[in-house]
Amino acid sequence: MRDLMPDMPNCLQADGLRVERNGKLLLDVPQLMMDGPGPTLILGPNGAGKSLLLRCLHGLIKADAGQVLQDGGVLNAAHKARQAMVFQQPVLLRRSVSANLDFVLKRLGLGRAARKNRIQELLAEGGLETKARQSARSLSGGEAQRLAILRALALGPETLFLDEPTSALDPAATQMIEAMILRASARGVRIVMVTHDVGQARRLAADIVMMQGGRVVEHGAAKQVLEAPQCQASRQYLAGWLVT
Ligand SMILES: Nc1ncnc2c1ncn2[C@@H]1O[C@H](COP(=O)(O)OP(=O)(O)OP(=O)(O)O)[C@@H](O)[C@H]1O
């Protein structure tokens, strides 16, 4: 599909997405297009459907109606192989830091020398050079999340989904991860990230998707949404009011 639409590089789209559970409509996104440069940040109160949307976009949850489109074509296995996701709690193998990266690179079919070089590059990218031999399970929260992001980046994804990757981290650890995200974005990786941190959205977002009650209530350029939100739900959320 990418070859058919060369003028639409890495365009991700939700089209008529609906997710229901136990007769309740949890996600209802008629149309959402992510085709601009720079990170897309998804904001909204607890239970707004942010994680559900992320999981649908990554194909982890099958919607009851609608579809996810990548470059105009329905999301398929080849597209999914070019996506990666990082969760709030990093899921790491009970092996060394290097071995966690090596595991992914082996699956990509890289030979020993290429893997060794790539691991060094990745460790440097995440500031984990001195931790290569340490057990991944013994890393600090920030280091573990950096490793989880490196492992996702090792896949060479076109799109990286991040679900509140810094919510449990202190400001210094958050800053390192934000820098990694911005570098990946500058290299052309599409970033779609959920956060509750309005400051983080201000620092990272090119565009912001505001959600409430399973719906996208506003989507626009970050500056526009943050400084002049168009809908009341966005205004209330940004003002720190309790929204249900
Ligand atoms: N598998 C499921 N079965 C039933 N309800 C679900 C399921 N998954 C999610 N939900 C419900 O869907 C709603 C949206 O959940 P979701 O996790 O997407 O919210 P969120 O915006 O990411 O919230 P938070 O900020 O608290 O992480 C919630 O009310 C949740 O309980």
In this prediction the ipTM stands at 0.96
Domains, in order of start, for the chain: 12-91+142-238 (3.40.50.300), 93-138 (no CATH)
Atom 31 (ligand 1): residue with closest C-alpha?
47
**Ligand 1 binding pocket, CB closer than 6 Å:** 21, 26, 44, 46-52
**Residues 6+ positions from 197 with CB-CB distance below 8 Å:** 166, 167
Amino acid at 39: P
Average pLDDT (8-30) is 92
| Pairing of β 190-194 and β 40-43 | parallel
Mean pLDDT of all residues in 235-239: 89
CA of 65 to the centre of ligand 1 (A): 17
**pLDDT digits 0-9 by tens, 132-169:** 999 999 999 999 999 999 999 999 999 999 999 999 89
The two tokens of residue 19 are 């997710």
Give per-residue pLDDT as tens, 174-215.
Answer: 999 999 999 999 999 999 999 999 999 999 999 999 999 999
State residue 1's pLDDT score.
27
| Residue minimizing CA distance to atom 2 of ligand 1 | 21
Which residue, by CA, sits nearest to atom 7 of ligand 1? 21
Q: Which atom of ligand 1 is least distant from the CA of 61? A: 1
Nearest ligand 1 atom to the CA of 49 is 18
Amino acid 3: pLDDT: 38
E strand or H helix that includes residue 88: none
CA distance 244 to 238: 14
* Cα-to-centroid distance, 49 and ligand 1 (Å): 6
pTM higher than 0.95, yes or no? no
